[in-house]
A and B are shown apart, each in its own frame.
Chain A
Amino acid sequence: MNRSITFRTDEELIKAIKGPDEMRNQALYFAYFKLGWRESAINLVAKYGGDIHDGDEISNDALVAVDRNIRNDKFNQESSLLTYYLAIVKKIWWKRTRRDPKFKSLEFELDQESSTSLEDDFFNKEKLSFLEKVIEQLSESCRELLKYTQLGYTNEEIKVEKKFKNANMAKKAVYRCREKLKSLLQSNSTWYDF
């Protein structure tokens, strides 16, 4: 990964995060380290009573959430990306500490709209555990193909990335992996409850 690439605006970052995996990683790295997102998150958490380990963990979770929300068009671009990222940091920290009296109170008002926009996690513990077990049963190559599919790669792009002979073979491979994933998901009789 080329760590020297510079992104000058939020728009460039968003475009890259929605782009191919390599570019997405470069953009996230740039924001996280070069733009000081991580440091800001750690400082923010420290301000509300967390230590550096809390800050580090929260900064990771928030980056994952920002990445996901941008890719899934859940970032409405009404604020800067850094403001948005720190709002998610706050939300995660608030959720974690709101019932713990030893931490300073963190005012965090949520209206319906911002709650959707600041989505910071998708899964409850049971669902996360179930999904983790399922994806562990997939082969490494299948996981990779599914990642590219979810990142919006076309069959042609997957062909290039994974060196398939042609786009049709890439398409068939993706199909097989998706069928395998579905089969694994359905193998648990309670899957419908998730």
Chain B
Amino acid sequence: MHEELDELIDQYIRGKLSPEDKASFEQRMKSDPTIHEKIALAKLELDAMELIIEKDLRQQINNWKKPKRNIKKYVIGLSSLALIIIVILWYFYIPLTQSSEKKIDIPKTQDSIIRKELTPVATNNAPDTTSSNLADDNTKLEPDKKVPSVDKEENEYLAMANKFYMLPSAISNLRSIDGEDDSLNQVLQSFQRKEYRKTIEILTKSHNQIPANNQANELLAHAYFKTGQFTKASAIFNQIVTDSPVPEEEAEWYLLLSLLPQYPQDSTRIIALTNTIAQDQYHSYQKPAQQIAEYLKSH
């Protein structure tokens, strides 16, 4: 009853009653004086609600007049920034993404004079596994795009690879050689200055101008390792091992280290290679390989 009266009053003050209903309602008003007060209150209530709408609209109008933030410009700006960052990352970190997917082209020519200097390094010269090879590295390790090294487990293998890695003394002691191609000397210099990204850049950009020899590829592989691009590094070391007519102990060892950060994805191969080296009493890297094998067994 109460609700019905409210509804009638509401329609009456909004002028929505039919002429008959309006007449009937006005007749009712005459007989019930309290309805007048209810109508007055309902009108005031309606005014209050209109005022709410009015204030809301005025707020809207003010918002419309505010300088509109050009979202498109923001989006374009942010997109451009993101694109620039991607291009920079691409330029520095993954210039060889495509080429590394292909077979790495390892020159098969005779070793150069420099190569001869490198060869004896591995012999009876296994790296000191207690030294931290990255302590003096001025290049921060950048994650290899191919290696999803984000979880704790993977980081452990990465840490182990870094722990055992030591730059071959033949490379670290290498000096530019008179008569050798200038472009290779430039690579050597940048590598020894620990400018690994630059080394990669030179080697990958002007690969055709650099004499085809294993030296360039080894430098490239170590530069990849130093910049955390383990997939690319392991691809090159693997190619050296595969293509060499004689056992390439050093390349085998660095292949193992390059593969280690990828252990969760490639454990079978890594265990096999570790065991091969660890069980070879004549292998220059038998001892550190045995340490790795023990570590892998315990995990």
Contact flag A63-B61 (CB < 8 Å), given A123-B47, A131-B47 = yes
Which residues from A are CB-within-8-Å of B14?
72
- The answer on a CB contact under 8 Å between B64 and A150 is no
Tell me how many residues of B have a C-beta within 8 Å of chain A: 23
Which residues from A are CB-within-8-Å of B53?
67-68, 147, 150-151
Tell me how many residues of A have a C-beta within 8 Å of chain B: 34
Residue of B nearest to A188 (CB): B44
Taking the complex as formed, is A191 at the interface, i.e. its CB lies under 8 A from any CB of chain B?
Answer: yes
Taking the complex as formed, is B50 at the interface, i.e. its CB lies under 8 A from any CB of chain A?
Answer: yes
Which residues from B are CB-within-8-Å of A73?
15
Does more than half of chain A's interface fall in helix, strand or loop, or is it mixed? Answer: helix
Taking the complex as formed, is A118 at the interface, i.e. its CB lies under 8 A from any CB of chain B?
Answer: no
Taking the complex as formed, is B49 at the interface, i.e. its CB lies under 8 A from any CB of chain A?
Answer: yes
Which 4 residue pairs are nearest across A and B when measured between Cβ atoms? A150-B49, A146-B49, A131-B51, A147-B52
Q: Which of A127-154 contact B (CB under 8 A)?
A: 127-128, 131-132, 134-135, 143, 146-147, 149-151
Which residues from A are CB-within-8-Å of B52?
135, 143, 146-147, 150
26 pairs, A vs B, C-beta closer than 8 Å: A28-B57, A28-B60, A32-B64, A63-B61, A64-B57, A64-B58, A67-B53, A68-B50, A68-B54, A72-B14, A122-B47, A128-B51, A132-B51, A135-B48, A147-B52, A149-B49, A150-B52, A181-B45, A182-B41, A182-B45, A185-B44, A185-B45, A185-B48, A186-B41, A191-B44, A192-B40
Q: What mask results when residues 90 to 120 of chain A are scored 1 for a CB within 8 Å of chain B, else 0?
A: 0000000000000000000000000000000
Residue of A29, A122, A186, A194 near B50 (CB, 8 A) is A122
